[in-house]
Amino acid sequence: EAQVTQNPRYLITVTGKKLTVTCSQNMNHEYMSWYRQDPGLGLRQIYYSMNVEVTDKGDVPEGYKVSRKEKRNFPLILESPSPNQTSLYFCASSFITPGLLTDTQYFGPGTRLTVL
């Protein structure tokens, strides 16, 4: 089954304790992205990657790191989490098709993070 998976789905942690949220897709997509969703703000992009070893900042990158060492995986790293990073996080992926205007992004199930 084609899918984007995220782990963990739920996480409660404390300020300053490093954590990693994993994201994996089995569709051979070039493009992967992380979003956070906060009430009243919709979804905002944190980081994205166009392919292996190619990453770039989105709209709200502060406090986050990413890496893309393999095509299927795109982990989100919070080196020193703070309470304002409490949010619902989504990973998404898509093809990048030459000549196609845009490609549909498919989302993982979300990770609900609480930082105390």
Partner 1 sequence: AQKITQTQPGMFVQEKEAVTLDCTYDTSDPSYGLFWYKQPSSGEMIFLIYQGSYDQQNATEGRYSLNFQKARKSANLVISASQLGDSAMYFCAMMEGGSEKLVFGKGTKLTVNP
Q: How far is the CB of 59 from partner 1 (least distance, A)?
A: 8
Is residue 41 near partner 1 by the rule CB under 8 A? yes
Is residue 92 near partner 1 by the rule CB under 8 A? yes
Instruction: Rule CB under 8 A: choose which of 34, 47, 48, 64 binds partner 1.
Output: 48
Chain positions 97 to 116 lying near partner 1, rule: CB under 8 A, are 101-110, 112
Angstrom distance (rounded) from CA 48 to CA 67: 10
Q: How far is the CB of 8 from partner 1 (least distance, A)?
A: 14
Is residue 19 near partner 1 by the rule CB under 8 A? no
CA distances from 33 to 68, 103, 115 (A): 11, 13, 22
Instruction: Rule CB under 8 A: choose which of 24, 25, 55, 94 binds partner 1.
Output: 94
- 8 Å CB contact between 76 and 44: no
Is residue 40 near partner 1 by the rule CB under 8 A? yes
Angstrom distance (rounded) from CA 7 to CA 49: 19
Q: What six digits make up the tokens of 35?
A: 């979003």
Angstrom distance (rounded) from CA 72 to CA 61: 21
